[in-house]
């Protein structure tokens, strides 16, 4: 559908279509106007009206996909122009969807728990019904319509949250929509949808942290902003409330963890913190974690008392009563010295300590609270007097007194006052059962400390707060899980508290203390004079022993002082060790920083390589576009489509230099347009060809139509004649079969009476036999039943006997296994001691070997240094000898030059050659021999200035000078021969002397 030129025309056209009932066409018109490229970046009030009308039609027609596309497009329109318009549009869209759901609920009373998953198009039962039914019933159609309305509203919430999740100016609408979604889930009991909604909100908040860097965009939501944290905290508190109402306790605990993290970033409002403590206490109460439930009630009471100034006395009394009763419901610690009782749950044994610490962190405390610490806070901070009177009486009764026989009778009136529900409208009634359980186990523990056995009647009177049937279950639980050795003897109607027990001071401490106090009070009342006399004697004894006691106390003080000094030294040593560890950690930190610097440099190198790779890719893309452009030019020439343009320029006019300025996407689009145009041309030609074929086929059918009618009439006449003949044959066969059946009946009819008499006679004889067999069977079955009962009784007796024998055998095996384990532990300890001694011996031997190795290495190093020093001295002497030989050679050359004649016209080629060939070669050969022997002599080279890459030895240059300087004739020859001989003799003598000296020095070294 073509979009109008103006937005007003689109809106007018849509209204006209709506008036005639064509709402789908109106929606298509408005959607095309929103998606049109002319209006894409143009925001006006008319566009806002179009968007509102567009969303209303989407709600009526339940077109969520169209609404989603329109919302995303409208967000990009008004992002920079008027973001408040998006807020208005979203609110109207949400209200319209909610009104539709309200109307659907009024028209049809539907049970929400029967409705399927809102994220599915249809429920499974609906799909099954449609598979077995031809048409939907009216009831099914109504249910499907209601389900579609609810599903549309749920999708509306999800789309709105996705559209508004990152814009700071729409943050308030985002949280408002989230709260509307919470109310939708609570009012319609949709726990699964609520869990998905919580996951969506959590994911959106985590994505905000991914985009936070050094600089946050102005329109981006900053999760570290105080206002953002406060809005998120309010939404999370609402989420926590709905989670507890929908019984989603796992999600509620996760939400509480998120609330704690948010409260650590910003200071929350007082009512939010109080709500947090209240619902956190409900979570722990549901998980039967009475310890942290009591701690939550205590923290809530302390906070409300300190923060809320205008709180009423009833509210404060209710909070204090809940805190007191919750504290009393906490199981007693097993390690209690004064009240040696037991825990009522096994959570402390099965859960790790770290889990309890994580629970404690939710209250911003570092230590795990205990029952004693909570009770101590109630007393020390004067919170106990704020509670109701029955709560205070119960606290004093359970925490202080040791009255096992009257404990339940004393607590029963206070429990009845709370259980009636008149106190605080029954808000304390849930604490009744845990309180009875605490009192019952306290009673059992106290009775087990005082009595060895007790009749059941006396026990029922002592434990009057619960029936004996419940008491039996609680006693079994105590014997199985909590270590109380208790037995119920039904034959003697007695309760036995344990077997012969090991008496220790820990279990007898409190009873002995109380007995001592009672005896002391009785003595003061019976014989006060004897008590005064005894006190005077004790004072006199104290005065006589005062000197000895002073000396003992002085000695103890001295020992204590020495112990303090020793501990100070230990502390200083530990501190020094910690400082060394700190230095080591600092060095490790510096090494890690250096490693990080290396990694950063490596990353920069990789980044540069990546940039070079991108540059190469761009060049390849440019080459690809150039080839594509050439192909497009060739295709345009072949198809004569020269009017194709890219950014205003024809294809034939584009050159290689223009590729850097053109957009690659435009080139690809032009290429696709060209391919599309060629394809359309081929399609047009094929359509024309198919049209010609259709015309030919139509002409053929028109010609054969009259012949087809004639052929059909002939076939029909032939079929009718065949059917008539077949029907006549069938009727004739049926008549013959009927006549034969009548004849057979007439033949068998005289024998009917005889057959009936024979059957009756046979049945009479068989009936007597049946009754006799039935009586025998009944007697046999009775005997089998009696024998089966006897066999089962014998089997039960045998199994019980085997069970007792097996129990005794297991006990003996357990004792034998423990003895074997102790022997193995002793053997392992001996092996460990022997292994340590062997390892210490090996360490000592290894140390001796290493010291011997170091000593040998030092001696070898010293010998090597001495040899190196001797070699250096020998080398210096040899170099000195070489210098002296060279000096003598120069003096000999100078003397030879002085003796040779300087005049003469004839060149002395022979003399020069002889001298150069013999003297120069010999000199060079001698030097080369010396260089080969010691690798320290050899010719000295110097650069020839006339020829840059010609290197010549010093003797060769001297020969050249001699050739130039030499005269002619025989005199020159003789002079050269004599000089050469003299030089050879001197060289040989010098070499012999130097060799002898070197050999002597090396021998001495």
Predicted local confidence at residue 709, as pLDDT: 83
Span of 284-293, 492-501, 915-924 with lowest mean pLDDT:
915-924
Confidence of residue 639 (pLDDT cuts 50, 70, 90): low
User: Could you give the C-alpha distances from 86 to 41, 54, 61, 67, 671, in angstroms and in order?
Assistant: 14, 14, 22, 13, 38
Question: What phi, psi does 485 have (nearest 5°)?
Answer: -85, 100
Contact yes or no for 304/274 (Cβ under 8 A) = yes
Predicted local confidence at residue 647, as pLDDT: 61
Confidence of residue 312 (pLDDT cuts 50, 70, 90): confident
- Judge whether residue 108 has pLDDT over 80: no
List all residues 6 or more positions away from 510 whose beta carbon is below 8 Å from its beta carbon: 337, 338, 339, 340, 402, 449
Predicted local confidence at residue 649, as pLDDT: 65
d(CA 503, CA 481): 22
Question: What phi, psi does 454 have (nearest 5°)?
Answer: -160, 145
825-840 pLDDT tens trace: 888 898 889 888 888 8
- Judge whether residue 972 has pLDDT over 80: no
- Judge whether residue 411 has pLDDT over 60: yes
d(CA 438, CA 398): 9
DSSP of 435-498, one letter per residue?
A: HHHHHHHHHHHHHHHH-SEEEHHHHHHHTTTS-HHHHHHHHHHHHHHS---EEEETTTTEEEE-
730-765 pLDDT tens trace: 999 998 899 898 888 888 888 888 888 888 888 887
d(CA 677, CA 641): 9
- Judge whether residue 908 has pLDDT over 70: no
Predicted local confidence at residue 936, as pLDDT: 42
What single-letter DSSP state applies at residue 167?
B
Predicted local confidence at residue 644, as pLDDT: 66
d(CA 315, CA 304): 10
Predicted local confidence at residue 141, as pLDDT: 57
DSSP of 127-155, one letter per residue?
A: HHHHHH-SS--HHHHHHHHHHHHHHHHHH
Radius of gyration (Cα) for the chain, nearest Å?
Answer: 57
d(CA 236, CA 256): 8
Confidence of residue 789 (pLDDT cuts 50, 70, 90): very high
Predicted local confidence at residue 615, as pLDDT: 84
Confidence of residue 982 (pLDDT cuts 50, 70, 90): very low
- Judge whether residue 704 has pLDDT over 60: yes
User: Could you give the C-alpha distances from 1004 to 46, 446, 863, 1000, in angstroms and in order?
Assistant: 116, 105, 15, 6
DSSP of 588-631, one letter per residue?
A: HHHHHHHHHHHHHHHHHHHHHHHHHHHHHHHHHHHHHHHHHHHH
Q: Please compute the mean of the pLDDT values over residues 328-342 and round it to a whole number.
A: 54
Q: Please compute the mean of the pLDDT values over residues 98-120 and round it to a whole number.
A: 65
935-965 pLDDT tens trace: 444 443 334 334 434 344 444 444 444 443 4
**Mean pLDDT of the chain, nearest integer:** 77
707-732 pLDDT tens trace: 888 888 889 989 998 999 999 999 99
Confidence of residue 557 (pLDDT cuts 50, 70, 90): very high
166-191 pLDDT tens trace: 888 888 999 999 999 999 888 888 88
Predicted local confidence at residue 81, as pLDDT: 74
* Percent over 70 (pLDDT), the chain: 77
Q: Strand, helix or coil at 332?
A: coil
d(CA 450, CA 442): 13
Residues in the chain: 1005
Q: Please compute the mean of the pLDDT values over residues 577-591 and round it to a whole number.
A: 89
d(CA 171, CA 178): 11
In this structure, the number of other CB atoms found within 10 A of the CB of residue 980 comes to 19
- Judge whether residue 998 has pLDDT over 70: no
- Judge whether residue 967 has pLDDT over 60: no
> Nearest 5 degrees, angle CA 848-CA 851-CA 852?
85
* Percent over 90 (pLDDT), the chain: 9
């Amino acid at each position: 559908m073509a979009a109008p030129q103006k937005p007003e025309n689109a809106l007018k056209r849509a209204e006209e279509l709506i008036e005639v009932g064509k709402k789908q066409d109106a929606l298509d018109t408005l959607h095309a106007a929103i998606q049109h490229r002319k209006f894409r970046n143009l925001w006006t009030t008319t566009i806002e009206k179009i968007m509102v009308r567009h969303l209303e039609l989407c709600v009526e027609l339940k077109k969520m996909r169209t609404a989603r596309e329109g919302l995303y497009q409208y967000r990009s329109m008004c992002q920079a122009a008027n973001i408040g318009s998006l807020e208005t549009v979203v609110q109207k869209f949400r209200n319209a969807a909610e009104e539709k759901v309200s109307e659907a609920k009024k028209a049809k009373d539907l049970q929400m728990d029967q409705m399927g998953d809102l994220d599915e198009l249809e429920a499974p039962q609906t799909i099954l019904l449609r598979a077995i039914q031809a048409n939907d019933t009216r009831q099914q159609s109504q249910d499907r319509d209601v389900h579609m309305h609810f599903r549309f509203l749920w999708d509306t919430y999800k789309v709105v949250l996705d559209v508004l999740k990152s814009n700071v100016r729409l943050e308030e609408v985002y949280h408002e929509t989230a709260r509307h979604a919470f109310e939708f889930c609570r009012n319609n009991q949709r726990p699964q949808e609520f869990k998905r909604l919580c996951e969506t909100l959590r994911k959106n908040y985590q994505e905000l942290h991914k985009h936070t860097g050094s600089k946050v965009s102005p329109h981006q939501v900053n999760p570290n902003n105080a206002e953002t944290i406060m809005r998120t905290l309010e939404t999370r508190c609402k989420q926590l409330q709905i989670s507890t109402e929908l019984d989603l306790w796992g999600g509620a605990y996760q939400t509480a963890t998120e609330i704690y993290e948010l409260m650590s970033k910003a200071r929350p409002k007082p009512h939010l913190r109080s709500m947090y403590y209240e619902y956190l206490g409900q979570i722990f109460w549901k998980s039967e974690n009475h310890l942290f439930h009591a701690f939550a009630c205590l923290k809530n009471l302390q906070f409300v008392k300190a923060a809320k100034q205008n709180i009423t006395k009833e509210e404060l009394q209710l909070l204090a009563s809940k805190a007191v009763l919750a504290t009393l419901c906490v199981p007693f610690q097993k390690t209690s010295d004064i009240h040696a009782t037991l825990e009522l749950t096994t959570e402390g044994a099965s859960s790790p300590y770290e889990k309890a610490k994580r629970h404690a962190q939710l209250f911003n405390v570092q230590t795990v609270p205990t029952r004693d610490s909570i009770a101590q806070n109630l007393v020390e901070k004067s919170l106990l007097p704020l509670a109701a009177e029955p709560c205070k009486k119960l606290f004093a009764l359970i925490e202080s007194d040791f009255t096992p026989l009257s404990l339940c009778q004393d607590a029963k009136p206070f429990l009845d006052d709370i259980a009636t529900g008149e106190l605080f409208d029954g808000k304390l009634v849930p604490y009744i059962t845990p309180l009875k359980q605490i009192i019952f186990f306290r009673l059992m523990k106290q009775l087990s400390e005082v009595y060895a056995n007790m009749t059941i009647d006396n026990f029922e009177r002592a434990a009057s707060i619960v029936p004996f049937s419940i008491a039996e279950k609680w006693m079994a639980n105590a014997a199985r899980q909590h270590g109380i050795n208790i037995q119920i003897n039904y034959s003697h109607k007695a309760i036995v508290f344990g077997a012969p027990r090991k008496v220790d001071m820990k279990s007898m401490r409190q009873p002995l203390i109380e007995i001592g106090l009672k005896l002391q009070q009785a003595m003061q009342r019976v014989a006060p004079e004897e008590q005064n006399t005894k006190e005077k004697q004790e004072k006199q004894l104290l005065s006589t022993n005062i000197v000895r006691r002073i000396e003992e106390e002085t000695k103890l003080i001295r020992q204590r002082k020495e112990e303090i000094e020793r501990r100070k030294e230990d502390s200083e040593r530990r501190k020094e060790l910690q400082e060394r560890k700190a230095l080591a950690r600092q060095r490790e930190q510096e090494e890690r920083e250096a490693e990080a610097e290396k990694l950063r440099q490596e990353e920069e190198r990789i980044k540069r390589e990546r940039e070079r790779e991108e540059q190469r890719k761009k060049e390849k893309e440019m080459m690809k576009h150039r080839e594509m452009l050439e192909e497009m030019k060739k295709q345009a020439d072949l198809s004569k489509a020269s009017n194709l343009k890219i950014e205003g320029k024809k294809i034939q006019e584009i050159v290689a230099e223009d590729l850097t300025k053109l957009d690659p996407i435009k080139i690809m689009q032009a290429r696709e347009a060209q391919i599309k145009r060629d394809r359309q041309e081929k399609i047009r030609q094929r359509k024309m060809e198919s049209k010609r074929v259709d015309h030919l086929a139509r002409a053929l059918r028109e010609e054969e139509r009259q012949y087809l009618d004639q052929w059909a009439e002939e076939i029909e006449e032939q079929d009718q004649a065949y059917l008539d003949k077949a029907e006549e044959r069938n009727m004739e066969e049926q008549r013959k079969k009927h006549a034969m059946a009548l004849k057979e009946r007439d033949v068998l009819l005289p024998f009917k009476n005889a057959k009936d008499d024979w059957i009756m006679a046979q049945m009479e004889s068989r009936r007597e036999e049946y009754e006799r067999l039935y009586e025998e069977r009944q007697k046999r079955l009775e005997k089998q039943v009696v024998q089966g009962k006897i066999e089962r009784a014998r089997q039960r007796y045998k199994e019980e006997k085997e069970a007792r024998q097996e129990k005794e055998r297991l006990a003996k095996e357990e004792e034998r296994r423990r003895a074997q384990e102790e022997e193995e532990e002793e053997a392992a300890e001996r092996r460990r001691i022997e292994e340590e001694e062997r390892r210490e011996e090996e360490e000592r031997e290894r140390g001796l070997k290493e010291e011997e190795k170091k000593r040998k290495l030092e001696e070898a190093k010293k010998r090597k240094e001495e040899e190196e020093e001797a070699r250096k001295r020998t080398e210096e002497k040899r170099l000195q000898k070489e210098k002296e030989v060279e000096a003598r050679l120069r003096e000999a050359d100078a003397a030879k030059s002085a003796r040779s004649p300087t005049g003469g016209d004839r060149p002395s080629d022979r003399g020069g050659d002889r001298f150069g060939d013999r003297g120069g070669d010999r000199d060079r050969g001698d030097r080369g021999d010396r260089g080969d022997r010691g690798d320290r002599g050899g010719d000295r080279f110097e650069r020839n200035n006339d020829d840059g890459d010609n290197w010549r030895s010093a003797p060769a240059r001297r020969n050249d000078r001699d050739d130039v300087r030499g005269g002619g004739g025989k005199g020159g020859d003789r002079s050269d021969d004599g000089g050469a001989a003299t030089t050879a003799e001197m060289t040989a003598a010098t070499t012999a002397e130097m060799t002898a000296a070197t050999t002597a020095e090396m021998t001495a070294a």
